A and B are shown apart, each in its own frame.
Chain A
Amino acid sequence: MTFDIGDGVDSAVNYVLDNFAPLLDMIAAAIGAVTNSIQATLLATPMVLGLAIFVLLSLWRVGLGFAVFTALSLWLVEHMGLWSAMMETLSLVLASTLVAMVIGLPLGIAMARNDRVAAGVRPVLDLMQTMPAFVYLIPAAMFFGLGAVPGTIATVIFSMPPVVRLTNLGIRQVHAEFIEAGNAFGCTATQLLFKVQLPNAMPSIMAGINQTIMLSLSMVVIASMIGAGGIGNTVLTGIQRLDVGTGFEGGIAVVILAVILDRITQSLGKQRAGLWRALFHRQAQQPLASPATA
Chain B
Amino acid sequence: MAYATESDLPGNDRPVKISIRNVFKVFGDRPEKAIELLEAGGTKSEIHAATGCTIGVKDASFDILAGEIFVIMGLSGSGKSTMLRLINRLIEPTSGSIEIEGRDVARMPRSELIALRRRDISMVFQSFALLPNRTVIDNAAFGLEVAGIGEEERRQRARAALRAVGLDGHDESRIDQLSGGMKQRVGLARALANEPTVLLMDEAFSALDPLIRTEMQDELVRLQAEHSRTIVFVSHDLDEAMRIGDRICIMQNGEVVQVGTPDEIVLKPANDYVRSFFRNVDVSQVFRAGDVARRTQVTIIERQGVSAAAALERMDHHDRDVAIILGRDKRYHGMVSRSSLIRTNRDGASDPYRHAFLPDIEPIPASESLSNVLGKVAASAFPVPVVDEANRYLGSISKSALLETLDRSA
A residues in contact (CB < 8 Å) with B: 175, 177-178, 180-188, 191, 195-196, 199-200, 202, 288-289, 291-294
Q: Which of B4-12, B39-47, B96-104, B168-176 contacts A (4 or more CB under 8 A)?
A: B168-176
B199 to chain A, nearest CB (A): 11
Give the docked Cα–Cα distance between A184 and B145 (Å): 13
The distance in angstroms between the C-alpha atoms of A175 and B194, with both chains bound, is: 24
Query: In the complex, are the beta carbons of B129 and A292 less than 8 A apart?
Result: no
| Partner of A186 from B115, B170, B173, B200 at Cβ < 8 Å | B115
The reply to whether B118 and A294 form a contact with Cβ atoms under 8 Å apart is no
Cα of A184 to Cα of B194 in the assembled complex, Å: 12
Give the contacting residue for A195; candidates B88, B121, B146, B194; CB below 8 A.
B146
Which has the most chain B C-beta neighbours within 10 Å: A180, A185, A191, A294?
A185
User: For B179, what are the chain A residues with a Cβ–Cβ distance below 8 Å?
Assistant: 291
Contacts A289-B169, A294-B166; A183 near B90 (Cβ below 8 A)? yes
Does B123 have its Cβ within 8 Å of any Cβ on chain A?
yes
Contacts of B170 in A (CB 8 A): 288
| Interface contact A187-B146, CB-CB below 8 Å | yes
Q: Once the chains bind, are A188 and B114 in contact (CB under 8 Å)?
A: yes
Return the contact of A177 from the options B118, B119, B127, B166 (Cβ within 8 A). B127
Complex Cα distance A289/B177, Å? 11
Q: Which residues of B contact A175 (CB under 8 A)?
A: 129
A90 and B32 alpha carbons, distance in the complex (Å): 60
Judge if B27 is at the interface, Cβ distance under 8 Å. no
In the complex, A187 Cα to B166 Cα: how many Å?
A: 27
Q: With contacts A288-B177, A291-B181, A294-B219 known, is A181 near B131, CB below 8 A?
A: yes
Most chain B CB within a 10 A radius of its CB, from A178, A182, A292: A292
Closest A residue to B145 by beta carbon equals A195
Please encode chain B, from 176 to 190, with 1 for each CB lying within 8 Å of some chain A CB and 0 for all others.
011101100100001
B166 touches A178 (CB 8 A): no
Specify the chain B residue showing the minimal Cβ separation from A284: B172
A177 to B183, CA, bound (A): 15
CB distance from A100 to the nearest CB of B (A): 24
CB of B143 within 8 A of chain A?
yes
CA A187 – CA B118 in complex, angstroms?
Answer: 8
Q: Are B117 and A183 in contact (CB-based, < 8 A)?
A: yes
A181, A200, A293: residue with the most chain B Cβ atoms closer than 10 Å: A181
Residues in A whose Cβ lies below 8 Å from that of B142: 181, 185, 195
CA distance A191 to B144 in the complex (A): 12
Q: Mark B305-326, 1 if CB is under 8 A from A, else 0.
A: 0000000000000000000000
Q: How far is the CA of A184 from the CA of B126 in the complex (A)?
A: 14
The complex places the Cα of A199 from the Cα of B169 at a distance, in Å, of: 25
Closest CB-CB distance, A179 to chain B, in whole Å? 9
Inter-subunit contact A196/B117 (CB<8 Å): no
Query: A294 vs B118: C-alpha distance in the bound complex, in angstroms?
Result: 28
B111-149 vs A, Cβ < 8 Å mask (1 yes, 0 no): 000111111011101010111110000000011011100
What residues on B are CB-neighbors of A185 within 8 Å?
Answer: 117-118, 122-123, 142-143, 146, 190, 194
In contact, B166 and A292 (Cβ under 8 angstroms): yes
A227–B225 CA distance with the chains assembled, in angstroms: 76
Q: Do A186 and B143 contact each other (CB < 8 Å), given the known contacts A181-B129, A291-B181?
A: yes
B343 vs chain A, min Cβ distance (A): 56
3 closest residue pairs by CB, A with B: A186-B118, A294-B166, A186-B117
Of the A-B pairs whose beta carbons lie under 8 Å apart in the complex, a sample of 9, sorted by A's number, is: A180-B85, A185-B146, A186-B147, A187-B146, A195-B142, A195-B145, A199-B131, A202-B133, A294-B166
Q: Pick the contact of B146: A177, A180, A186, A199 (CB < 8 A).
A: A186
Q: How far apart sit A278 and B118, CA to CA, in the bound complex (Å)? A: 41
In the complex, how many angstroms separate the beta carbon of A126 from the nearest chain B beta carbon?
29
CB B20 to nearest CB in A, in angstroms, measures: 18
Which one, A184, A188, A196, A293, contacts B131 given CB within 8 A? A196
- Does B167 sit at the interface, judged by CB under 8 A? yes
Task: Report the bound CA distance from A292 to B212 in whole Å.
Answer: 11
- In the complex, the answer to whether A177 meets B117 with C-beta atoms within 8 Å is no
Residues of A within 8 A of B90 (CB): 180, 183-184
CA distance A182 to B121 in the complex (A): 13
Q: Which residues of B contact A289 (CB under 8 A)?
A: 169
CA–CA, A117 and B118, complex, Å:
31
Most A C-beta atoms less than 10 A away, residue of B129, B165, B179, B185: B129
Residues of B contacting A200 with CB < 8 Å? 131-133
Q: How far is the CA of A177 from the CA of B204 in the complex (A)?
A: 13
Alpha-carbon distance A291/B170, docked complex (angstroms):
10
Q: A183-B90, A199-B133, A291-B179 are in contact. Are A177 and B143 (CB under 8 A)?
A: no
Q: List A contacts of B178 (CB < 8 A).
A: 288
Does B404 have its Cβ within 8 Å of any Cβ on chain A? no
A180 and B125 in contact (CB under 8 A), knowing A195-B146, A293-B215, A294-B222?
Answer: yes
CB nearest to B119 among chain A residues: A186
Q: How far is the CB of A177 from chain B (nearest CB, A)?
A: 4
Question: Which chain A residue has the least Cβ–Cβ distance from B147?
Answer: A186
A residues within 8 A CB of B119? 186
When C-beta atoms are compared, the residue in chain A nearest to B123 turns out to be A184
Known A185-B122, A186-B118, A292-B166: A180·B143 in contact at CB below 8 Å: no
How far, in whole Å, are A184 and B87 apart by their CA atoms in the complex? 11
Shortest CB-to-CB span from A151 to chain B, Å, is 37
CB distance from B210 to the nearest CB of A (A): 15
Nearest to B170 among chain A residues (CB) is A288
**CB neighbours of A294 from chain B (8 A):** 165-166, 215, 219, 222
B276-294 contact mask (Cβ, 8 Å, vs A): 1 or 0? 0000000000000000000
Choose from B114, B129, B147 the contact partner of A178 (Cβ within 8 Å). B129
Neighbouring A residues of B190 by C-beta, 8 Å:
185
A191 near B222: Cβ-Cβ < 8 Å: no
